Structure 1
């Protein structure tokens, strides 16, 4: 059985101590590094044994920027799972866009956290109910409001499917799928992020993390 190396960055020293105790009985997870700041983590991390996943507190007391913290940890070769007790929708969205592999709240059971760690190592994206809620209500001007069916056609088409196949996956007629795709292109153009080609659309899906979910309130 392979053991997952993890790190934790949190300015709550009591929580870090508790985390060691809580994880001790888990045989496939090894907490190899803890730090109260990202700067401390960068100083202490062993390049030859970088944690596979780092649990990163969303808002650290040093007033460091959450998205920048994610980027700095990712640069070491670790994946990032953001954890927090404070609801901060903008901060959560920024960390996901910066490349974090998910977000969980600190009130979750240990089993939920450990499974999230395993999912990240397996290449998955952890969409907790809290993250799903935040994503579904993201209405910033630069992110177009897409209906569920528009998003379904877009993600299928941008992943490499033909428009006919995307239509089948979304459960709509070919002509309807084509209309949805044109609407999506218009919405991105109006948001100042034009997407003329299939490659452009794939970029928008990746940038907006649309592969995370089929979420969002219906919109026109």
Structure 2
């Protein structure tokens, strides 16, 4: 059991408030959550940071982490949730983004729920309280992203295929990918053909390099690009 998990168990057995951590790179959102929970005696914001590694480095005992899907470090929601889970921490996604791909990535890693920033304060508070108790927070958009998006079927890439995909889709030429991975150029081309075939079989075409890039982002092998509607 990790230190965070152990501390969380200790806190839950006591009478103190549930301790909430926030991973959010917009200060106004953090302030808004602090204000929203100020009068909730059973909930307390105990830590906040702009990235998951920064939050974990603080070593604060937490019962729940509220996570934004889009962060300025370009990290994948799936990777962020997995890091938090490895530290023994459950996650509630709190986001203004309406990208079902990002929700799917987080859900695949195992979050307690996804909550929009546009929800009424009472709804947000109730959701945070439920998640802090370890309960699932089921919302329509979360269910739709998980159950209603067959276009994101897992294609079952091997670790080496994922490495090749990430390098090639990020802009490297096949010869450079071969150099970086230690593979022969013809092997890289063979891997790329197999990757495209697997995506095609899953109903997710990846004929062009741009399409391969999109698939790599959707599946969390490359960071999510920044967008004007960040958050």
Relative to the length of structure 2, the TM-score reads 0.57
Question: Does residue 110 of structure 2 align to residue 99 of structure 1?
Answer: yes
Is 2:90–2:134's contact at 8 Å kept on the other side of the alignment? no
Question: Does residue 57 of structure 2 align to residue 43 of structure 1?
Answer: yes
Question: Does residue 47 of structure 2 align to residue 33 of structure 1?
Answer: yes
Give runs of aligned pairs for residues 5-84 of structure 1, distance below 5 A. Answer: 5-46=19-60, 49=61, 51-84=62-95
User: Please, which runs of 5 or more residues in structure 2 have no aligned partner?
Assistant: 1-14, 155-200, 203-231
Q: CA RMSD in A?
A: 1.9
Runs of 4 or more, structure 1, over 6 Å off, are none
CA distance in 2, matches of 1:84, 1:98: 17
Is 1:52–1:77's contact at 8 Å kept on the other side of the alignment? no
CA distance in 1, matches of 2:45, 2:85: 17
Partner of 1:113: 124
* 1:121 to 1:13, Cα distance in 2 relative to 1, 3 A: closer
Q: Deviation at 1:141?
A: 6.1
User: Please, which runs of 5 or more residues in structure 1 have no aligned partner?
Assistant: 144-189, 192-220
Report how many residues are paired. Answer: 142
Q: Deviation at 1:114?
A: 2.0
What SS does structure 1 have at the residue aligned with 2:65?
Answer: strand
Structure number with higher relative contact order (C-alpha < 8 Å, ≥ 6 residues apart): 2
Relative to the length of structure 1, the TM-score reads 0.60
Deviates more, 1:74-83 or 1:25-34: 74-83
Match of 1:128 among 139, 144, 148: 139
What SS does structure 2 have at the residue aligned with 1:126?
Answer: coil
